[in-house]
């Protein structure tokens, strides 16, 4: 998982939940969310096609000289098994996280943006640290950023469209009182783009990203 993929704002809302705006747009949140989800998926498809074309002409980022060959079917099988295992693990995690956070008095925003985000991104975080330790900084940043992009630009819109086949529809609506958090998330996104967009990753810029996340975590703790 990634930041924003847990029970925090902005998040996917059921169509019947309260939305921060009281106007015509909020009355048509489902239709607006469907249009937005479709456009985001088109954009994600265009980006993915360009990404794959660019990657096909480059050398592998990680050399695998001694890696045993893996057939296409075996690879698909591994991915399916990993997906099923991840689904069961997520169910167990969600089942225990709500009672624990309620007993400790931790808000859902902090739970989703900090606890769930760190736990759900454990694999990407470990890989990113390992790559950075090996001085493969560009690849480390790419692993972390692409993971978040896939959640925001593919999984969320897909869930909105899939929910059309069920009685409870999902939207991109903002919960009541979530304006401060939305502004904080926008600021964090702009900071990450500005810091990592130049293709360089000095140590102090990495520290700036950590501090930005710490500030955002502080905001949602008191939200």
* 64 has a pLDDT exceeding 70: no
173 vs 98 pLDDT, higher one: 98
pLDDT of residue 39 exceeding 90: yes
**Segment among 6-10, 94-98, 143-147 with least mean pLDDT:** 6-10
Give the percent of the chain with pLDDT over 90: 4
| Residue 143 zone, left/alpha/beta (φ > 0; ψ -120 to 50; rest) | alpha
Is residue 184 over pLDDT 80?
A: no
Q: Is the pLDDT of residue 26 over 80?
A: no
- In this prediction, residue 2 carries a pLDDT of 42
Check whether 177 has a pLDDT greater than 50. Answer: yes
Q: Nearest-5° angle of CA 77, CA 156, CA 212? A: 105
pLDDT for residue 3 is more than 50: no
pLDDT score of 16? 46
Q: Tell me the residue length of the chain.
A: 223
Q: Using CA atoms, how far apart are residues 129 and 176, in angstroms rounded to an integer?
A: 37
Higher-confidence residue: 155 or 27?
A: 155
The DSSP element (H or E) to which 46 belongs, if any, is helix 29-56
- Over residues 65-87, the mean pLDDT reads 79
What's the first-to-final CA gap in the chain, in angstroms? 22
pLDDT band at 42 (very low <50, low <70, confident <90, very high): very high
Residue 69: pLDDT over 60: yes
Upstream peptide bond of 163 is cis (omega within 30 degrees of 0): no
Which of 148, 104, 103, 102 is closest to 125 using CA atoms?
A: 148
Per-residue DSSP letter, 105: T
- Tens digits of per-residue pLDDT, 85-102? 888 887 888 788 888 888
pTM of the model: 0.64
Residue 59: band (very low, low, confident or very high) from pLDDT cuts 50, 70, 90:
low
Rg of the chain (C-alpha set)? 19
Which secondary structure element, helix H or strand E, spans residue 217, and what is its range?
helix 203-222
Mean of the per-residue pLDDT values for the chain? 76
């Amino acid at each position: 998982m990634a930041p924003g993929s847990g029970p925090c704002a902005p998040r996917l809302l059921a169509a019947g939940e309260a939305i921060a705006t009281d106007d015509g747009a909020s009355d048509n949140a489902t239709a607006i969310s469907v249009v937005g989800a479709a456009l985001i998926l088109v954009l994600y498809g265009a980006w993915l096609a360009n990404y794959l074309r660019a990657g096909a002409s480059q050398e592998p980022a990680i050399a695998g000289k001694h890696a045993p060959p893996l057939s296409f079917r075996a690879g698909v099988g591994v991915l399916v098994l990993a997906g099923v295992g991840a689904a069961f693990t997520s169910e167990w995690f969600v089942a225990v996280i709500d009672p624990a956070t309620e007993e400790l008095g931790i808000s859902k925003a902090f739970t989703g943006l900090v606890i769930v985000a760190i736990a759900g991104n454990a694999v990407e975080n470990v890989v990113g640290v390992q790559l950075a330790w090996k001085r493969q900084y560009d690849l480390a940043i790419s692993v972390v950023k692409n993971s978040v992009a896939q959640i925001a630009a593919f999984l969320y819109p897909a869930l909105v469209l899939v929910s059309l086949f069920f009685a409870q529809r999902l939207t991109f609506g903002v919960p009541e009182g979530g304006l401060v958090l939305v502004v904080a998330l926008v600021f964090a996104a702009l900071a990450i783009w500005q810091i990592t967009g130049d293709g360089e990753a000095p140590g102090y810029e990495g520290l700036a990203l950590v501090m930005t996340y710490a500030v955002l975590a502080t905001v949602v703790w008191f939200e």
